[in-house]
Amino acid sequence: MTHCPECEAEITVQDLMIGEIIYCPDCSAELEVLRLEPPSVVLAPQVEEDWGE
Amino acid sequence: MRLAILTSRIRVEEKLLIEVLRQRSIAFDIIDDGELLLDLSHPDERWRAYDAVLCRSMSQSRGLAVLHVLEHWGVRVCNSSTVTATCNDKLLTTLALLQAGIPTPHTLLAFDPQITIQGIDMLGYPVVLKPITGSWGRLLARINDRDAAEAVLEHQEILGSYQHHVHYVQEHIAKPQRDIRAFVVGDRTICAIYRTSEHWVTNTARGAVASNCPVTPELDSLCVRAAQAVGGGILAIDVLEDPQRGLLINEINATMEFRNSIAPTGVDIPDVMLDYILSGVREEAVR
């Protein structure tokens, strides 16, 4: 378990992958899974101009 | 057999691809483009372990840069850098389509705002202004009159980067509240969806609803030709239905998103993608 960097809510990364985007259940912040062991999430980067298909 | 998937983020599409790889017991690695440090004069041996690298970078600039380097090092990639560069750039896509004689909306290119307005007057309102790079329907503007044209062009000139000073102007197609997204893998249109929206921008990223679109021989032939025009591979083709001229190819995407298209079409798109990549690897091994 880790904590949301925005609101400190508890975040579990079970069954997730590094690089996956999740939403904080408390504050809805977009979070990127940085590490699984030990678990770590960061605020996901904002959409950049060159992102797309 | 060992594959690599180049990613910026793990989206639903990447998870679906990973699921197919696991089902088929194919070894793979996920490589985050943000973590790469590429010594251009010294090929990193890790890449030689892969029979193919599938580019799924969400960052178009990162993905294309890595494709260039890997091809330079002799690593098999999908899609190729040439195909990806063409699809990432609406100007290059339009030129490739025109070169191949494929119907596409009438498009003008200009640099000076006043000259651009002259061009818009020639085409007739409404028109669509698009940045030549970009995706997900970002910064598209339907221009209904000269006031709007002057405002948007001024915003682009003052607020935009130098790329927004290249004005790509397209005739507006009076499509029936929808467009078609067709998926071409190799020489076959494997499925297609209608993207329906009340809004004139019909990207699913902007809320359009996906439903199955039958792949007629006409749609298949046109989309395969369009895919070949940009070099071929695994491509998503955006098609507009013009009331007078019929099907027009609008844009082509080299790193296609398909999460909303599997259920309505019933086609296991990641499975077909993997088939295509594996057959390419096997063909190369035979040579």
Instruction: Indicate whether B202 pLDDT > 90.
Output: no
Chain B residues bordering chain A (beta-carbon distance below 8 Å): 7-11, 15, 18, 30, 32, 58-62, 133-136, 138, 161, 236, 253-257
Instruction: Indicate whether B245 pLDDT > 80.
Output: yes
Residue A53 and residue B135: Cβ atoms within 8 Å? Answer: yes
pLDDT tier, B113 (very low <50, low <70, confident <90, very high otherwise): very high
How confident is the model at residue B97, as a pLDDT? Answer: 98
User: Span B186-215, mean pLDDT?
Assistant: 92
Q: How far apart are CA B59 and CA B27, in angstroms?
A: 25
- Domains of chain B and any CATH numbers: 2-86+275-286 (3.40.50.20), 107-171 (3.30.1490.20), 174-266 (3.30.470.20)
Q: How far apart are CA B286 and CA B121, in angstroms?
A: 56
Q: Is the backbone of residue B179 left (phi > 0), alpha (psi -120 to 50) or beta?
A: beta
How confident is the model at residue B136, as a pLDDT? Answer: 81
Residue A53 and residue B15: Cβ atoms within 8 Å? Answer: no
B139 → chain A, closest CA residue: A49
- Domains of chain A and any CATH numbers: 2-43 (2.20.28.160)
User: What's this model's pTM, rounded to 2 decimal places?
Assistant: 0.91
Instruction: Indicate whether B9 pLDDT > 90.
Output: no
Helix axes B81-88, B90-99, angle to 10 degrees: 110
Count CB neighbours of B209 within 10 A: 15
Closest CA to B234 of B254, B262, B216: B254
How confident is the model at residue A49, as a pLDDT? Answer: 79
Mutate to test the interface with A, among B135, B201, B230, B255 (most CBs of A within 10 A): B135
> Helices H, strands E: what count in chain B?
9, 13
Chains A, B: CB contacts under 8 A, how many? Answer: 54
CA distance A7 to chain B (A): 23
pLDDT tier, A39 (very low <50, low <70, confident <90, very high otherwise): very high
Q: How far apart are CA B284 and CA B91, in angstroms?
A: 32
Q: Cβ of A49 under 8 Å from any chain B Cβ?
A: yes
When CB atoms are compared, the residue of B9, B135, B161 closest to A52 is B135
Element holding B171 (H helix, E strand): strand B167-171
A18 → chain B, closest CA residue: B10
Strand duo B188-196 + B178-185: pairing: antiparallel
How confident is the model at residue B163, as a pLDDT? Answer: 84
CA distance A30 to chain B (A): 12
Burial (Cβ within 10 Å: 0-12, 13-18, ≥19) of residue B5: buried
pLDDT tens column, B163-191: 889 999 999 999 999 999 999 999 999 99
Q: For the CA atoms of B177, B109, B233, B256, what is the dihedral angle to 10 degrees?
A: -40
How confident is the model at residue B270, as a pLDDT? Answer: 98
Residue B135 and residue A17: Cβ atoms within 8 Å? Answer: no
CA distance A5 to chain B (A): 19
When CB atoms are compared, the residue of B7, B10, B60 closest to A52 is B60
Return contacts of B197-204, CB within 8 angstroms, 24+ apart: B200/B142, B201/B137, B201/B140, B202/B175, B202/B177, B202/B178, B203/B136, B203/B137, B204/B257, B204/B260
Q: Which residues of A touch B161 (CB under 8 A)?
A: 49
Q: What is the DSSP string of B22-79?
A: HHTT-EEEEEEGGG----TTS--GGGGG-SEEEEE-SBHHHHHHHHHHHHHTT--EES
> Helices H, strands E: what count in chain A?
0, 5
B238 → chain A, closest CA residue: A53
Q: For the CA atoms of B276, B279, B281, B287, what is the dihedral angle to 10 degrees?
A: -140
Count CB neighbours of B169 within 10 A: 22
Residue A18 and residue B134: Cβ atoms within 8 Å? Answer: no
Count CB neighbours of B261 within 10 A: 26
Q: Cβ of A42 under 8 Å from any chain B Cβ?
A: no
Q: How far apart are CA B241 and CA B180, in angstroms?
A: 8
pLDDT tens column, B50-67: 999 999 999 999 999 999
CA distance A10 to chain B (A): 22
The ipTM, to two decimals, is 0.73
Q: How far apart are CA A51 and CA B10, in angstroms?
A: 13
